[in-house]
Amino acid sequence: MTRGFIDDRVFTVLGKALDAYALRHRAAAANIANANTPGYKRSYVPFEDELVRVLEEGGEEEIARLRPKATRDLLTQAREDGNNVDMEQEVAEMAKNQLRYQAASAVLKTRFAMYRHVISEGKR
């Protein structure tokens, strides 16, 4: 059975990654916004380990069902006010996340360009 290019595993994985990176950015922004809120617990998005597990063990259906989720960090040492946001860590995570988002976007753009080239050459 032939799969369409939209069903391409690379597109699916890149789409999930972009979703995770967008969610991770929102979580880091919320953490930064609440850095001085007493009792606030930071959020993070553990995506890469779950993606690797699904890619190694799961089939196409499990990949399609993969949904990045924000998780509260209840293990990191909190300050006296109960807040566990570390501004330096959050800014560094945002920078790393931005690079990941840009890289995934670039790969996706290149992939679309390849398909566009194949389609346009096929018309000749």
Mean pLDDT over residues 79-103, rounded?
97
Question: Does the predicted model carry a pTM greater than 0.75?
Answer: yes
pLDDT of residue 4: 54
Residues 34-87 have pLDDT tens digits of 999 999 999 999 999 899 999 888 777 888 889 999 999 999 999 999 999 999
pLDDT for res 22: 97
117: pLDDT strictly greater than 70:
yes
Asked whether the beta carbons of 97 and 70 are under 8 A apart, the reply is: no
User: pLDDT by residue (tens digit) across 2-26?
Assistant: 455 555 788 889 999 999 999 999 9
Q: What pLDDT is recorded for position 9? A: 83
Domain boundaries, the chain: 5-122
Burial class (CB in 10 A: 0-12, 13-18, 19+), 80: exposed
- What does the pLDDT read at residue 1? 38
